[in-house]
Structures are given as C-alpha cells and as structure tokens.
Structure 1
Amino acid sequence: MKERRGAPLKHNVIRSKMKKGYPLMTDPILSSHFPDTDWFQESSLRKMLRNHTAVYIKPDVGRKGNGVIRLKRLNRYEHEISHGETTIICPSKKLYSELTKMLNPKKNYLVQQGIDLATYRKRPFDVRVVLQKPLNTWRATLMSAKIAPNESSVVTNVAKGAKDLNVYKAINGIDQSVNRPEVLRDLLDVSHQIAQKLDSVFPLRILGLDMGIDKKGKVWFIEANTKPDNVGLENIDRKLYRKYRAAKKWMRKG
C-alpha cells in the first residue's frame, strides 16, 4: 500500500540487539562482517571461548555500554574479566558462576566474539555511521570515530569516556599498516548494505551504526541503533552535519 502524500513514513524503533542482528548474521554476504554471536548460556560461552581469545557479554537491550563485560582467555586455566573499571583473574572452572553474579537476572544477554580493534594513538576506536532515508535512498549523513579513553578500555562509548574525532583524521592516523582508502570505502559500502537489509525487514528512516575496523583493516558490524543520539557531533564535521540537518528536514516533510 502506498503512503499517502504528506503522511509520515513509518520508522520502527528496535531495541533488541539479537532481533536487529539476526537478519545480518544470516545474510550470505553481510554475515562475514558480523562477529560470532549467540545467546549467553554456559554452553555457548564455552564454545565461544574455544574459538576466540576475547569475547563480550552484552545485555540484549541496553544503551551507552552499560552492563558490558569483556573476557580474555589468558591460558587453559585462567580468564581475565573486565567490567567497568574493575578487572579480575578468574579460574576457568568458576568462570560461568562468577559471571552470573555480575548479570541482571531480569535481562537476557548475548555472548559475542571480540574484535581486535585498530588503534589511534594506541587507543582502540570504532566508527559511528548515521544513515538517513529522506527521499527513499539511504545516505550516510554523519560519521565520527569514537576513541577509547585508554588502551585497555572495555567499550568505546562516549558515555564511558570515549572522545569523538573526525573519522577521516582517525582513519588516516590508524597505528596499523592498512589500506586507508579501501577501509573508508568498505566502511561506507558495508554500512549502506546493512541499512538496506535492515530496512527490508523493519521499515526504517534513520540508523546509527557502530562499525569496527580491526588491526588488519577489515570492517565489522558492532551494533545498530534505530534511535541514535547525535548530540555533540555538529563540531566534528560541519559539512556532514549540514547534510544530516538537510536530510532531517526532508524527512519531517514526509
């Protein structure tokens, strides 16, 4: 059914990370950019730790990096648990019971492959890509790099002390040897593919994507926000911000 002229186009706000992630992890192309992910339980945790040296435990519904736990396999017998500002060493046989003490029993959690993020001045970062659909075409209208406050930060959320930086400056300043033009091209290409895929499942008009770049230059999906908070980005790239405001104006007109 066609939208009536002047009527606002539909936009769904999806809060579940798994609900947003499932169409991507099952897509034959986009799945290669999606980190290994499962519901958190003892069997999935053990399997994930056999396959990856670092994993994250995340609430299925959550914001601003709250409740995220990072695990690192130190050896066969010990794991490092980092939660907020606290890091402890835990015997492997007690790992699951120790983790469940930290989790909210009223929430569902995911266990996800950790990405060895590229660094800028030795600090890991990811990239926020905001896409809008003002005239039935997805456009990347805002981008910024989120630089973690220190080398060992668990998350790169601005709410946890990360700093926004111009994305071109961050990519050009990556500490690792990567093909920078190719990284930027892949970042935009994969972001557009993700927007189109999610829009085919949930009618959407705006998306905030958290995208990772690993130390080899590969682009990874981290998270999609269907109600992105773009406060403070107007000073990061004024040209892009004007593009974002113009698209927002068109969307208000329906």
Structure 2
Amino acid sequence: MKKALPLMNDPFMKRYVPDTDWFGYDSLDKMMRRYDSVYIKPDVGRQGGGIIRVKKLSAKQWEISSKQTSSLFAPDKVYKQVKLLLNPKKKYIVQQGIDLATYHRCPFDVRVVLQKPLGYWRATLMSAKVAPRPSSLVTNVAKGAKDHNVYKVLRGLDQSLSSSNIMRDLMDISHQTAQILNSRYSFKILGLDLAVDKNGKVWFIEANTMPDNAGLENVDRSLYSKYLKARKLMRSG
C-alpha cells in the first residue's frame, strides 16, 4: 500500500493501479458491489502467501478461495468467513480483481527489473511468470509458477491481443513507476510485478526494491547480460 499510494495519486499512473483500500467490512462490501472478484492480501507479504480471492458466481453465491481450497457462501457471510482466514497480527488490503490474460490457459503476470547505473533507469530483466494451473490464485514462482521468456508468452496468448502494444505499455508504465517512486524513495534497483488483463490493459500490482532475480539468467540470456553489466556499473559508480 505504501508504494502504491504515490502511483494512485499520480494523474498518469492512477488509471493503471487496481482499486485498493485497507481491508474492513465497509471496504470489502464496496468492492464486492463494484467488481466480480476481489483479492485480500497481507500489506506486507512474501511469495504470494496469505492471499484470498473472493469471486462472484451469482447474485446469491460467492466463492472464497485460499491456498488450494474453495468454498461457497452467501454474500452477507463473506466478511465473517474471510476474517477467519486472516492472521490477526497482520494488516490487509482489499483490491479489485484483474481478469488476467492467459498463456496455454494459465494466468500470468510480468516481472520487470529496472536498474539505474548512470543516472537513468534501464529495464534490464523481464520474465512472464506463468501459473501452474488455470485455477491458480497467484503467479508467484514460490507457488509453482514458472518464468518464461516474455516475448514468447505475449506472442502465444490465448487472447487475440497485440504483443507490441502490450510491450510498449509495459515499458512506459515501468519507467513511469520508477521515476515516481524514486522521487519519494532512494534506490537503484526496482522489481515490478505488472499484470495484463484479457483486454490487453497493463496494471501495476507490486513494487520491490530488493527483487529476487534467481533463475532469470536462463530466461533471456541477452537481457541477463545487460543486467550484469548495469550491476557492475552501479558497483563501480
């Protein structure tokens, strides 16, 4: 939430940030009235742990999914049931659900790593994190997703979308996000999780100033060499 707020207040970026609020009875009720699915997430979390999806199946029935289980409830019972799944020691946000584009029927999101070796931001690593199943809640590698070459995934989408337009938007939004966040916080590397919906719109999901880049050397060797070169420049500078 902390890193999303500057983006939500920016005239350009706010249209790319999903509707987000602190979790509570009123905020969950508002989101359920507006959207067909919402996500409840720990405000500070790692590797996709603790995420809950609430999805509308009909006017009288919503599905609550957590980990590998799903249960059905009437809409007026959802808040109570979600509360039972939460860690009382953590703060949670509630967020508009994004209907993710799919590759081989599985949802994915895009990881973009930017570095600032010579005073300006460069996108030096990219991958598409493809979930293991069509029903997967999250696209985290720690939860079974696999890193794929992003160009290959965008060219092979199940939806009929322009891969070049999506790539352009991914780059524009990544650089805008880096500039906005860097004006508030000091860092030289930024990992972004960006989503692509079934209409081809790109969404900001999360920013991390200490991204884990393990395994990406085999996804795109050309990009990875660019990443290593930028890292070397940052260390020498």
Match of 1:208 in 2: 191
* Aligned match of 1:20: 3
Does residue 222 of structure 1 match 2:205? yes
Q: Deviations over 1:66-85 (max 9, x none)?
A: 00001101222221011010
Corresponding residue of 1:90: 73
Cα RMSD for the two superposed structures? 0.7
Structure 1 CA distance, aligned partners of 2:85 and 2:20? 20
Structure 2 match to 1:111: 94
Does the aligned pair in 2 maintain the 1:143–1:167 contact within 8 Å? Answer: yes
1:46 counterpart = 2:36: no
Q: Secondary structure of the residue that 2:5 maps to in structure 1?
A: helix
Q: Shift in Å at residue 231 of structure 1?
A: 0.3
| Counterpart in the other structure of 1:7 | none
Distance in 2 between residues matched to 1:74 and 1:174, nearest whole Å: 25
Secondary structure (helix, strand or coil) at the match of 1:201 reads coil
Shift of 1:228: 0.3
Number of residue pairs matched by the alignment = 237
Percent identical pairs in the alignment equals 61
Task: Give the match for residue 173 of structure 1.
Answer: 156
The CA distance in 2 between the partners of 1:249 and 1:72, in whole Å, is: 46
Q: Is the Cα contact below 8 Å between 1:77 and 1:93 reproduced in 2? A: no
2:225 is the alignment partner of 1:242 = yes
Q: Does 1:151 align with 2:134?
A: yes
Structure 2: any 5+ residue segments left out of the alignment? none
Q: Structure 1 residue aligned with 2:58, among 75, 81, 91?
A: 75
Q: Distance in 2 between matches of 1:95 and 1:127?
A: 30
Q: 1: CA distance between counterparts of 2:188 and 2:72?
A: 44
Quote the offset at 1:126 in angstroms.
0.4
Helix, strand or coil for the counterpart of 2:41? strand
Q: What amino acid maps onto 1:140 in structure 2?
A: A
Q: Please, what TM-score do these two structures have when normalized by structure 2?
A: 0.99
Which residue does 1:12 correspond to in 2?
none
Residue 93 of structure 1 and its aligned partner are, at CA, apart by 1.5
Give a deviation string over 1:97-141, Cα, whole Å, max 9, x none: 111110000100000001111100111110000000011100000
CA distance in 2, matches of 1:26, 1:122: 34
- SS of 1:19 mapped into structure 2: coil
Cα offset, 1:204, TM superposition:
1.6
The AA in structure 2 aligned to 1:101 is L
Unaligned runs of 5+ in 1: 1-17
- Equivalents in 1 of 2:4, 2:151: separation in Å? 27
The normalised TM-score by structure 1 is: 0.92
User: Does the 8 Å contact 1:65/1:159 carry over to 2?
Assistant: yes
1:253 offset after TM fit, Å?
1.9
User: Which residue of structure 2 aligns with residue 11 of structure 1?
Assistant: none
Please name the residue that 1:8 is paired with. none
Deviates most, 191-200 or 88-97: 88-97
Partner SS, residue 189 of structure 1: helix
- Runs of at least 4 residues of structure 1 off by over 6 A? none
Give the Cα separation in 1 of the matches to 2:236 and 2:94.
41
For 2:230 and 2:64, the matched residues in 1 are separated by 43
Post-superposition CA distance 1:153-211 (Å, at most 9, x none): 00000000001100000000111011111111111111110011000111121111000
Amino acid at match of 2:94: V
Which residue is 1:30 aligned to? 13
Residue 183 of structure 2 aligns to a residue whose secondary structure is helix
Per chain length, whose mean CA-contact separation is higher, i.e. which structure has more relative contact order (CA < 8 Å, sep 6+)? 1
The residue aligned with 2:176 is: 193
Q: 1:131 is paired with a residue of what secondary structure?
A: strand
Q: What does residue 9 of structure 1 align with? A: none
Give secondary structure in 1 for the equivalent of 2:217. Answer: coil
